[in-house]
Amino acid sequence: MPLDAAAEQDMNSSNGQRARGPFSGVLVIDLTRVLAGPFSTMLMADLGARVIKVEQPGSGDDSRAYGPFKDGKSVYFGFVNRGKESIALDLKNDRDRALFLRMVERADVLVENFRPGTMEKLGLSWEALSKINPRLIYASGSGFGQTGPMSRTPAYDTVVQALSGIMSITGYPDGPPTRVGTSVADLTAGVYLFGGIASALYARETTGRGARVDVAMLDAMLSYLLHGVMEYVAHGRALGRLGNGHPSIAPFDTYQAADELFVICAGGNEVFARLSEAIGRGDLARDERFAHNRNRHENHEALRAELEATLRTKPARHWVEVLTVAGVPCARIQSIPEAVAMPQIAARNMMVESDGMRILGNPIKIGGFDDPATRPAAPALDGNGDAIRAEFGASEERATAAKR
């Protein structure tokens, strides 16, 4: 997609200069709110797209009211809407609707995450908008997708975690089903939505035509449950809750040192032999109970007892240092503050500056394109409205109407 004069001008939008990226010159109309959709369009903005966020007048995206707050602004909103522009439009209002349709005429991508059927009621369906702009990529994110008996059922992340089965395998055997400690269904759907849009843009280079992208949170979450579905397909049974253990590999769990639990992941015979030697227990690698992974997994509790008899003699930091030198994957269980302070995170530019605060960076690194350490702020509600209205001809329309 060549960078034309309009795109060059777009690089210096009223919301701050954006770095060039693989999506430079791509115009995205963002009707999404809260998390899954905004996360997908934020990734596009980070990679050079111009993203115009269309919000409800007066209140805007619901997440503007979600905490935590810093300096009176929602950190939640800021984390997934940086680098975008904002215009407040009432799509039921004739003048606002006319402006919106002019935006669609020039857009490359439209992204929405209303409940299925809402866009159709507004007269803004894929079929309607593709007639206005045949090259439009029309991407929809929802709880259950645009088809199927549950398509119009409301959903939140925890609902999808419950339905998908992931809660049933999260937690310890003697504890209750447990929600994963982040909005994994929302974020997984956001990543798939981003990937679907990128794929459709690539296909358009060959076909010249737009496409409909349909991503469901339930589909996305289920696709991540490889081990649980493997167990069902292979043995016809549900995978139980394993705590921090692995369903088919040992030792692959948390283990108690003198001061705290830490993680050891020794997946093969060679790694297990290195582990045994490093902690001074070379006998374990020669024990028939632990000779191969299947044996170790079948005897994982006996293996735990043998390992922890030694590991409990010294602190976790000692063992992590020893095992890392030996080439055994392992780690302390860090807090979030410890994680974001890691030199590795700094080296990968995964904490960046935006609007006076440190926020998460973009994990997609592409050679030949900058990965700025400073990112544009999330927009104020309708913060770019006047400029966008002027750009898409609303001021001219008002002038014409006044002459009449």
pLDDT at 267: 87
pLDDT at 393: 86
pLDDT at 397: 53
In Å, what is the CA distance from 250 to each residue of 123, 244, 245, 266, 303?
A: 56, 11, 8, 7, 8
pLDDT at 302: 97
CATH label, 252-256+261-332, candidates 3.40.50.300, 3.30.1540.10, 3.40.309.10, 3.40.800.20: 3.30.1540.10
State the chain's mean pLDDT as an integer.
92
**Residue 385 corresponds to which tokens in the numbers above?**
């409205």
pLDDT at 404: 42
pLDDT at 284: 97
**Residue 213 corresponds to which tokens in the numbers above?**
């992208």
Q: Which of 50, 53, 23, 24 is nearest to 38 (CA)?
A: 53
Where the chain has pLDDT below 70, the residues are: 1-19, 394-404
pLDDT at 295: 95
Identity at 58, one-letter amino acid code? G
pLDDT at 57: 97
Q: Which of 15, 18, 42 is nearest to 363 (CA)?
A: 42
Q: Which residues of 99-131 are buried (b: 16+ CB within 10 A; e: fewer)?
A: bbbbbbeebbbbbbbbebebbeebebbbeebbe
**Residue 289 corresponds to which tokens in the numbers above?**
């109970």
- How far apart (Å, rounded) are the C-alpha atoms in residues 189 and 39? 9
pLDDT at 394: 56
Architecture of domain 5-224+348-403: 3-Layer(aba) Sandwich (3.40)
pLDDT at 13: 43
Catalytic residue among 235, 246, 292, 297: 246
- How far apart (Å, rounded) are the C-alpha atoms in residues 300 and 304? 6
What predicted TM-score, i.e. pTM, was given to this entire model?
Answer: 0.90
Annotated domain spans of the chain: 5-224+348-403, 252-256+261-332
Q: Is the dihedral of CA 352, 337, 261, 178 positive or negative?
A: negative
Q: Clarify whether 246 is annotated catalytic.
A: yes
